[in-house]
Amino acid sequence: MAEQIPDTYYSMEDFSSIKKFDTHVHLRSQLDTLFINQAIKDNFRFLTVSVYTSPERTPEEQENFSLKMVRDFPDIVAYATTFSLDGFNDDDWVSKTLDYLEKSIAHGAIAVKVWKNVGMELQNEKGDLVTINDKKFEPILKFLAEKDITLLGHLGEPKNTWLPLEEMTVQGDKDYFSENPKYHMYNFPDFPSYEDQIGARDKMLANNPDLRFVGAHLGSLEYDVNELAKRLDQFPNMAVDMAERISHLQYQAINNWQGVHDFFIKYQDRLIYGTDLRAGASDIQAKGLTDPDEIAAHAYEVWLRHWQFFTGDEEMNVPKVDGTFKGLKLPKSVVDKIYRYNAENWYPGLLR
């Protein structure tokens, strides 16, 4: 009988020596370059993500800044582009969008982001909300599949969004939806339900099996690893990043540590590390951080706290979760996938 090799684990001391990716950050201004400087110290590389939220912040404007970051930090930064929804109901919207994406990919974009305004804000000519499985998106999705470009989708919102603030499970959601009431769906019972949002995304994936898809924010299934597991089983072309949702995993670990741990072991090839770091993030604003050293220190604290959760087995308390939970103590091989190899596999071109 062959001798069994014991699992090996990382320690807190290994943090800065291991190559890592944070695949979900938003570098939008010179202030955000503080995160890059900290990343260099902590052995991180970035995927900076453009987001179309309104006509005031165009994809072109965001891409120009991303390209500057790529030029200035070629060994650290790659970028994901997005596309405008302005003029969605015009006859030439699809052709214009395809033209823009073709150029953006030629400039070096390795992924394309679609945001929650699809499903929650965008309306068709009849005034009905448009979801990602609308036929008008089909040429876009097929184009991305043909080009072997990953679609990063923030579709839907946390299930907490459909609850009163006081019933939300983590502090980050309470903070965000108190500051952004237009996305607090509890106040809009006539809007599509949480299940409607997830169902539309699932239909899109079923209709596009050749599309490589990364569900941002744990695929908006952050509240239950078992529900997320069902989708990963159903859709082999789907992975998820953990940006701004690790607190939900920690919340589940209070009462279901084994379930969360086993989920990471079983789906170790489908989970990608990300944070949603940006200078305007809710937690930075809530702390009133404006000093460059403080903002850089905040990034370091977030990254180190997550590393502790994945690699250690000590009891932990974190700002966004009420209660104590234990670190997951994942083997080195799993940690390496979460922080590096899954990013490389699900975002071809990340390493240039």
Q: Which residue has the higher pLDDT, 278 or 305?
A: 305
User: What mean pLDDT is predicted for residues 161-189?
Assistant: 96
User: What mean pLDDT is predicted for residues 285-298?
Assistant: 72
pLDDT (tens digit per residue) in 198-211:
999 999 999 999 99
Per-residue model confidence (pLDDT) at position 6 = 59
Per-residue model confidence (pLDDT) at position 310 = 98
Strand partners, 25: 48, 277
User: What mean pLDDT is predicted for residues 179-199?
Assistant: 95
Contacts of 53 by beta carbon, 8 Å cutoff, 6+ apart? 115, 117
Cα–Cα distance for residue pair 323/346, rounded to 1 Å: 34
Closest CA to 54 of 193, 234, 182: 182
Q: Is residue 238 within 8 Å of 203, Cβ to Cβ?
A: no
Per-residue model confidence (pLDDT) at position 2 = 47
Closest CA to 139 of 96, 109, 197: 96
Per-residue model confidence (pLDDT) at position 69 = 95
Token pair 């650290």 is found at 76
Of 99-108, 113-122, 271-280, the one with minimum mean pLDDT is 271-280
User: What mean pLDDT is predicted for residues 225-240?
Assistant: 98
Report CA 4 to chain centroid distance, whole Å.
37
Percent of the chain with pLDDT over 70: 95
Tell me the residue ranges of DSSP E strands in the chain: 20-25, 44-49, 77-82, 111-114, 150-153, 213-215, 238-241, 271-272, 315-316, 325-326
Cα–Cα distance for residue pair 25/47, rounded to 1 Å: 6
Q: How many residues does the chain have?
A: 352
* pLDDT band for position 294 (cuts 50, 70, 90): confident
pLDDT over threshold 80, residue 287: no
Q: Is residue 80 within 8 Å of 57, Cβ to Cβ?
A: no
Of 94-108, 134-148, 266-280, the one with minimum mean pLDDT is 266-280
Closest CA to 217 of 138, 140, 115, 133: 115
User: Buried (b) or exposed (e) across 138-169, using 16+ Cβ within 10 A?
Assistant: eebbebbbeeebbbbbbbbbbbbbbbeeeebb
- CATH node for 12-346: 3.20.20.140
Q: State the DSSP code for 277.
A: B
Closest CA to 100 of 78, 116, 87, 84: 84
Per-residue model confidence (pLDDT) at position 288 = 60
Percent of the chain with pLDDT over 90: 89
User: What mean pLDDT is predicted for residues 90-97?
Assistant: 98
Q: What DSSP line would sit under 32-64, residue for residue?
A: GHHHHHHHHHHTEEEEEE----STTS-HHHHHH
Element (DSSP H or E) covering residue 199: helix 194-207
Per-residue model confidence (pLDDT) at position 351 = 75
Average pLDDT of the chain is: 94
pLDDT over threshold 60, residue 53: yes
Of 137-141, 189-193, 257-261, the one with minimum mean pLDDT is 189-193
pLDDT over threshold 90, residue 162: yes
pLDDT over threshold 90, residue 292: no
Per-residue model confidence (pLDDT) at position 167 = 97
pTM value is 0.95
Element (DSSP H or E) covering residue 160: none
pLDDT (tens digit per residue) in 134-143:
999 999 999 9
User: What mean pLDDT is predicted for residues 72-96?
Assistant: 97
pLDDT over threshold 60, residue 284: no
* pLDDT band for position 280 (cuts 50, 70, 90): low
Per-residue model confidence (pLDDT) at position 281 = 58
- 192: amino acid identity, one letter: P
Closest CA to 300 of 101, 7, 9, 22: 22
User: What mean pLDDT is predicted for residues 260-266?
Assistant: 98
Contacts of 323 by beta carbon, 8 Å cutoff, 6+ apart? 251, 254, 317
* Count of helices and strands (H, E) across the chain: 14, 10
Q: Is residue 306 within 8 Å of 323, Cβ to Cβ?
A: no
Closest CA to 322 of 164, 161, 167, 162: 167
Q: What are the backbone dihedrals phi and psi of residue 29, each rounded to the nearest 5 degrees, phi first?
A: -150, 170
Per-residue model confidence (pLDDT) at position 278 = 82
